Amino acid sequence: MKPAKKIERLIKKSRYKAGPEAYDKALGSFLQAVDTHEKQKSAIAEPNIWRIITKSKITKLAAAAVIIVAVLLSYFTVGVKETYAFEQTLEAFRDVRTIHLLGRNLRDNNFEMWIQLDPNTGMPDYCRLYTPSDKYLAVSRPEHSYQYIERINRVQITSGRLFSIEVAPAYMFEELIKFSKTENPDIKVNVNYEHDNKSDKILIIAIYETPTEKWRISIDPETKLPVCFNLLSDTHRRGLVFKDVDKIEYNVHLPEGIFDFEIPEGAQVIGQ
């Protein structure tokens, strides 16, 4: 097997483990393939450019790095179905029980959200959303939910949950899977790999676009879980709890009583 073909096959076998160990393993196998290739071709008298390039260990390493990068670049840009299977993220979400989010809403105001997922459905069971600048608190619970506006001391009580599927990150990936398999030309899903300066890691970047909205989602290739996502454009601006999520933590310890709510003294109560 030719060296370039061998390294491509090796990379494809470890397609979702693009890290230092996978790189070292692929590089070692590649150099071994180069040596084998040189020995097989040693009987040929005329000059061979491959042997010239790989004459020394230093140039051999440089050539290997160049070819690995070339193969990776071509491999990572062949399309969604070849680069990353979003089903991996859905599978990773099966082990997620709590989520902590920090981000901005459609008015570009900061918010913090805590979510406890139903282990059977994966949907948000309990949620707490607080927007400091608006002094707005929302506590979503299965039986009754509360919205409290501190500046006017008013509480609105509703039956059932305030938030459900619209704040379930797994739902977004169910949509991505559906979109990536559709033949609708108005729906686009693209995937690439980018270096993130904050974490100093290579992240999977998924961008999907419909006629009404466009999202950018950054995925950690190790955990298969999203680390942030951003709404790039939205034409209807309805039904969205947040615009950007800058930080996501999974399976974090929930502060005691985080989903409790007591009606403040003197508050106006609506919808009880």
pTM: 0.67
pLDDT tens, position by position, 222-258? 999 999 989 898 776 655 678 899 999 999 999 999 9
- pLDDT confidence of residue 67: 45
Give the chain's domains with CATH numbers. Answer: 3-76 (no CATH), 87-250 (2.50.20.10)
Q: Rounded mean pLDDT of 256-268?
A: 95
- The answer to whether the beta carbons of residues 212 and 236 sit under 8 Å apart is yes
pLDDT tens, position by position, 7-43? 445 444 444 444 445 445 544 554 455 455 445 544 4
